[in-house]
Chains A and B, each alone.
Chain A
């Protein structure tokens, strides 16, 4: 297994455009998380899936953000009508469903909104 992968690694978009990011977790992990990280800050939780069910969403996740994990494997995060404040690193992580299970993070997608 090659770990968690994310695509694209970098995305530059103009304000108002829609963007979609993909995350492929470690195959045997049934939990998948999305985070946003801005410069000088720790990751901020956005949303979480157990298998295909989206179980929790942060208040940070406005209605312009939507995430899916249709078959319990890969996940997509879409941002509609992007704003400059959306510029950040978007991190995906996966883990097993165990109390002490650590999250394995992907390399992230860096979004720049111009």
Chain B
């Protein structure tokens, strides 16, 4: 089974609108971490947001928020007030194994296009 599943290969959003990028994960660990990264056409991976499995509140970082639904094993990224510069590939990732966990799994990504 895939550790990280991103079912939306491509998404479009109007500038200034909000968009949700889906991510589901599969793990039997109690302690794990969930990450979202942005990869613009330049290729560099940029960290956006982190959610720990024991965090009770959804993580937020500026215009990014993570909608964490533990029972459903989903960790959707919400981008509010989309900007043209948000057009990029977005990857969901999971770190398993608690404090010493060192195995990262990435999804196949979602390509987001912001339309002016």
Contacts and interface: CB of A to CB of B under 8 A. Distances in A.
Contacts of A102: 35, 47, 50
B10 to A, nearest CB: 11
A31 interface: yes
Contacts of A108: 43-44
A17 interface: no
B45 A48 contact: no
Contacts of B104: 33, 43, 45, 103
B35 A55 contact: no
Contacts of A105: 37, 44-46
Contacts of B31: 99
Interface residues of B, number: 26
Task: Name, among B4, B45, B109, the residue most crowded by chain A CB atoms within 10 Å (CB to CB).
Answer: B45
B103 interface: yes
A108 B40 CA distance: 13
Contacts of B35: 102-103
Interface in A25-69: 31, 33, 35, 40-45, 48, 50, 55-56
Interface of B: 4, 31, 33, 35, 37, 42-47, 50, 52, 91, 93, 98-99, 101-109
13 contacts: A42-B109, A43-B45, A45-B104, A56-B102, A56-B103, A93-B45, A100-B50, A102-B47, A104-B47, A105-B37, A105-B44, A105-B45, A108-B44
Q: Identify the 4 closest CB pairs spanning chains A and B, nearest first.
A: A42-B106, A105-B45, A102-B47, A99-B99
